[in-house]
Structure 1
Amino acid sequence: MFESLNLTPLHWLVTELDMVMQPSSTVDVHEWDRRLMAASGPGLWFSHDEMLTLVQENHQMIDCEFFGVPVAAGPDPAQAVLRIDFFDSTEVTVCIDGSVIEISNAIERALGPAVASHVVGSREGDTTAHHIAAILRTCFDASQDPRAALLRDQVEAVRTVDESVPRIFDIVLAAAPRSDYADGPLRWAVYYCSDEAPLAGEVLIWMLEGRINFVEFPWFTTDMPAELPRPDQLILTSTDEDRVRDVR
């Protein structure tokens, strides 16, 4: 996969490093781990040659996250044009800036068709995407609207989530069936509580052309909640049906 990228030399930033090297490798993984733990800032910077050594002498990637940054950009994570993230030995995420790195046929064969996204992203972003998807899944599972089944399918197609402004998350979907919901917020809404407030805010799901466009988490408390609600903090039932449906 790495060779298929046909990369020009990059600066590399590693934020997670749990891997097994070949018995003949010259790489001391424990030393790399010590360097990473001692590094200031977001992680450990290293050269393209060091990255090639990791690739060539690696036996198994277990839990690793690498960002490739053009040499001319200096050590600036915000300028990353490539992210390679191995998680739990079973999943790999590759995000490529197609304006800088050509998406070759070899990459398409290795990874499958690309999903459009305007950010290279991070593991933290992936965690947020899973969190938002879990909230949406819980909302749609509780909905009494039979059309919500199509939205449930769209949740499974969530690929990236980007917090464009505080507590508003743009959703990027892969191919998924479109619904017949009108543009704008769904007319049924779900409230949520927090550890500090029994009624902290609501979940607004905005549609565009039959697809989930973004999710908004307005708050009713004086201060903005520090965290997103957990799925178990959603208020899904009430003696007053209007509290769950047709609240806008």
Structure 2
Amino acid sequence: MKFITSISPRRIERQQYCMSTWLQYGQIIAVQTAGEIPLLQPQFPDVQFVATEKTGAEVFGYPSRVNISAMIDQGPGLLINSDIKIDTNQKQFDSDWQPKSKQFNVGVRFDFDGPGKPKFLNKHGIDAFLITEEVMAVMEDHGFVIGVPVWDCWIVWHMLIHRFKIQTKLTPGLLHLNHPMGWSDTDLVKGMAIMQREYGIGHRGLSEAICDVTGRLHIKPGRHNTPMVEVA
């Protein structure tokens, strides 16, 4: 498996740890701005870096955050956020991410507050996406970038309207240590403006549709019937 990600200059140690759990399953590609790569390479020696000029400077005002389309261009592979720990075995990993025609495989994380704390299925976010040749063939660039809200819902919605079946991993295996948000309400407004302009869908409709299609419509935020309790 090829992992496709983009590394944040913040919380480096956490990302180092999380990405080290990917290595047993395949290679890692990190898409970054050219200026970031010399700073990150010494800290991530097992990662192959790819430079891009596609960033969120114009739409979101974030010149250091890379465009999702630039990451998808590195496919096929597993598009995944850099602060996600993979906590599973090889057999389960292969089963979770087995490609199938006209199917879009996505993974939902379990959040926790620290070692020994319970881990709960995230109500809204999506953190891993299997990018196949079929997915790449229908994907479009509407300016979404890593690290802002809505992009994860956008990519699922886009695949839905192209009549892909959404296959969601809701079982434990993707772990995320909670941290302060790295985006603002303004980012949310900008993201939803793209969805309204390009797809004619508003915030509530999108949120409910994505929760429904990923099997989380009736899950309360921050709670899950079978929380994990192991130390990450």
TM-score if structure 2 supplies the norm length? Answer: 0.25
More strand by share: 1
Larger radius of gyration: 1
TM-score if structure 1 supplies the norm length? Answer: 0.24
